[in-house]
Amino acid sequence: MGFMTVGKENSSDIDLYYEDHGKGKPVILIHGWPLSGASWEKQVDVLLNAGHRVITYDRRGFGHSSKPASGYDYDTFAADLHKLVTTLELRDLALVGFSMGGGEVARYLGSYGSERVTKAVFISSVPPFLLKTGDNPEGLDESVFAGIRKAIVADRPAFLSAFFKDFYNADVLGGTRISDQAIQNSWNVAAGASAKGSLDCVSAWGTDFRKDLRKINVPTLVVQGDADRILPISATGIRTNKAVRGSRLLVVAGGPHGINWTHADELNPELLSFLK
């Protein structure tokens, strides 16, 4: 629907593709890796019909946005989001982040505060801190991230095929809550993303959001499936709920990572109720 320039790389502008629909209180939907804003297909119409202004955008390197060779870190991602928020002059805003998009929500609020934001939602999200360190024993060993990077470099299309099987728990939910065609569509979007951006984002997953979460002072909803194979709820959603003062945790029974597709019928009413 539109493009917004957030920077420059050599002779080319770095542009973010965004869609801005409807009227009412604004909601920004921030997608996960390695997808695009189109992954919110099952939420956009529901939110529009409920009277919200709905904005989706493609993170740099993904979807229709520019694919620069750098900037795949959360400080830059949050700055890109801030440029979108200020350019569109949004206020009384809800930020909804899925998976990697939850990192943007955390870092945005940690860096720019809640002057323009009134609610936050983390769905199957990466915070608080995925990397195992001396003061974060619940995290994952660096070898896990190194293995993912190695697999992406070796054969990114093959890696994505295996990744989406676990993203949607296809062995359990395939043919009932998600079709082969929907999984293939996710693969198609992911395969079209920047190869370098897809690789560099893996390192960004190890970002420490604990200080950001402590700064959040708006009503917050945390939603995650208890069968998430990509980001186990014990390492992410449960800890985020504990870290954000006054937040509410909704656990989706049998939900995989991609609950915004497979369990939209359960997620959407909760999302609408929270955003009222």
Task: Determine whether 99 is an active site residue.
Answer: yes
Q: Which of 31, 52, 64, 257 is catalytic?
A: 257
Instruction: Please answer whether residues 201 and 60 qualify as being in contact, where contact means their C-beta atoms are separated by less than 8 angstroms.
Output: no
What pLDDT score was predicted for residue 1? 75
Q: Which of 15, 125, 228, 247 is catalytic?
A: 228
Q: Which of 65, 66, 99, 198 is catalytic?
A: 99
pTM exceeds 0.95: yes
Instruction: Please answer whether residues 272 and 182 qualify as being in contact, where contact means their C-beta atoms are separated by less than 8 angstroms.
Output: no
In this structure, what CATH number is given to the domain that contains residue 7? 3.40.50.1820
Instruction: Please answer whether residues 229 and 169 qualify as being in contact, where contact means their C-beta atoms are separated by less than 8 angstroms.
Output: yes
Mean pLDDT, the chain cut into blocks of 10 residues (276 residues total): 94 98 98 98 98 98 98 98 98 98 98 98 98 94 96 98 98 98 98 98 98 98 98 97 98 98 98 96
Range of the domain at 128: 2-275
Task: Determine whether 228 is an active site residue.
Answer: yes
- C-alpha of 47 from chain center: 17
Instruction: Please answer whether residues 58 and 31 qualify as being in contact, where contact means their C-beta atoms are separated by less than 8 angstroms.
Output: yes
Domain count, the chain: 1
